[in-house]
Amino acid sequence: MNTKSRGALGELIAKEYLLRNHYKIIQQNWTSRWAEIDFVTKNKEFLVFIEVKYKTSTIFGYPTDEINNRKLFNIKKSIYTYLLKNDLFGITWRFDVISVTKIKNKYKLEHYKFVELPC
């Protein structure tokens, strides 16, 4: 399985989780010149931008270890671009990360809400 296939599998697992938890998926894989936003969703209170990270093992670290400040800064620029292009400034939004790890043929999903983005 190549990197793109693994990423798609992680996003599929995350999507099923989001739908079960009453998130409305507005867009998937929205791309700006800086970064791709895996999911743009809506729940009762927020427009939620979500980054999904998937790993088949924790031998070399956890999925969230793949997210550095540069990536977060680029995601922030992409979020602002999305808000601007869709005339959504002034609405309440947040950024979340979903981590999916395959451990012994089972998937462990962790949802980190209100992840802080760098200035």
Task: Work out the number of other CB atoms within 10 angstroms of the CB of residue 40.
Answer: 21
Bridge partners of 31, per DSSP, are 36
Fold of 3-112: Trna Endonuclease; Chain: A, domain 1 (3.40.1350)
Bridge partners of 24, per DSSP, are 42
Assign 3-class secondary structure to 7-64. Answer: HHHHHHHHHHHHHHCCCEEEEEEEECCCCEEEEEEECCCCEEEEEEEEECCCCCCCHH
Tallying the residues shown for the chain, one arrives at: 119
**Which amino acid, one-letter code, is at 87?**
D
Residue holding tokens 């969703």? Answer: 41
Tell me how far the alpha carbon of residue 62 is from its chain's centroid: 15
What does the alpha-carbon distance between residue 109 and residue 60 come to, in Å, rounded to a whole number? Answer: 18
Whether this prediction's pTM lies above 0.85 is answered by yes
pLDDT in tens, the chain (119 residues): 655 566 789 999 999 999 999 999 999 999 999 999 999 999 999 999 999 999 888 777 888 888 999 999 999 999 999 999 999 988 999 999 999 999 888 999 999 999 999 98
